[in-house]
Structure 1
């Protein structure tokens, strides 16, 4: 079974696009919540709206092997709603390149991306590359992030990740985020290829 098959919810193209539209609107709403000035009437009304969301969504909740989030390969970051949207421009030869724009939802302060959001983006980009290389699900063993310069929000940034080396189940990956010629952050990580008895829907060690 390939990595793509493991992470696929098997949606047809039209359904995948519909789910992508939902995630895109959710991202836009999060950015606007993060940047809003306080207005009690709006806050109360939106809280009521979100309560209705939870009522509609609750009956659709299912196990990991049946969820859609993070399992639509045709969408950026597989439609994973939690992760900054990394858009791949080229992939192959143990390397992937693309772009990311951190919105206000991911701001830490001073119009810069939160350090945790930068690490989250690295975990996704490097992890997907490791899984594609292993043709299996991988798990993060460590992820070291060095912050070299301010990582601006609302600005398209270049992201690169590449396989450093592979040692049996161990896949060593490196990556960087750049704003023009400035390296904003660098990362090096180790991912472990999971054994056949590990994977989706299983909480396992090792």
Structure 2
């Protein structure tokens, strides 16, 4: 019987990406979108305890919706998830990437567009495996584009930024560290001929294996 996977996103644009990645798997995908975190990030109450409380309530609600697993696709969410005793397994999308990084022979650059995601992801990576040689790079002034629905503009700017980053660090392996950057990484590879790792190469097979209760 097909499994039901709940997908928690920060923006609706990630729904299409995940649907494509898991299209070959016999799983029902239920999507939950919570864009409010980005909208409240400048508010005085937007502190770690507030974020964790909100995420705890959200995850509890999703787990009650008759699902077999929860895939958290936003790296900001995964960095702030509280330790909850939920009845279903949680798949953190960045841990799929971290597992891949362990196999890299060259030092790694993790590229981001969301400045709020950088520190949490790098700290999570250090906890996952402190021996992984990685540094972060923010492609500035881009994340607001995707959050405001300017997908093509975001795609153009981010793909160019990834291509420039790869050429500037030829001895490093560059990875697009957010799900929203998958299409841009593909364009950078197809148009500029540079190799950029991305979640589209990771999610399908591994999430299928790890979603088993």
TM-score by length of 2: 0.28
More strand by share: 1
Highest Rg: 1 or 2? 1
More helix by share: 2
Higher relative contact order (CA 8 A, sep 6+): 2
